[in-house]
Structure 1
Amino acid sequence: MKIESYAFTGEGMTRVYENEKWMVGIKNWKPANDIKGIDCLERHNRTDELFVLISGKCTLLYANEEENGLKIEKVEMEPFKVYNIPATLWHNTITCQDTKLILIEDSSTSMENSDIYELSEEQVRFIQDKLY
């Protein structure tokens, strides 16, 4: 037996470690997570997701459903703090090119038990002009 290590320097996210219970991924900047490319939110319906900012800057967007639609808010991540995204909470990340995040979630989390919410032009403008 030996100690293993994992790294990822590419664009976007990849699962670097996975077993039958949980998964660890590394998420780097990609155009869809840039403030100019943000166009959706996602939610995982059965599982929480944890994020840790390692370097760069990351704004966590999140939204709760209200009578008038989604109320979109943000949290500016601080390095080395653990942020929990509870199951069913709409969310996404806005990152810059030097951003590196660690994410941890149940290994069963997939698009089969998750949803994507396409943001309207008005919602995108609100995020770009008011939140970011």
Structure 2
Amino acid sequence: MSREIIQTDHAPQAIGPYSQAVKVDNTVYLSGQIPLIPESMELVTGDINAQIRRVFDNLSAVCEAAGGSLNDIAKLNIFLTDLSHFPTVNEIMSEYFAEPYPARAAIGVASLPKGAEVEMDAVMVLNGQV
């Protein structure tokens, strides 16, 4: 079993004692991403659309650093402080992912780090890279 820590400057640095992602053999466990701008580590300004897009961009950057893409994600977890944004997540997700879509959960939570309204984490499987 091989274990590799994934890190990229194209996604926000960890704001606690964790890694952006950990690759074990051909499976990559991506830590939760909130809508932080990597360069400033500040929350993106704007409505929920901007926050959701920033989170997908951050996840994408970590996927790429691990040698994959969003389309290699097998399981996506979405955490929302307001589940009324669920249709917006669906709409934007369809712009970032191609079918077949990953397995997914959407969970309503009371709060998220730094006052974010959305956070996502994922499990990615890289084909043919054992």
> Which one has the largest radius of gyration?
1
**TM-score, normalised by the number of residues in structure 1:** 0.34
Specify which structure has the higher proportion of strand.
Answer: 1
**TM-score when normalising by structure 2:** 0.34
Structure with a larger share of its residues in helix: 2
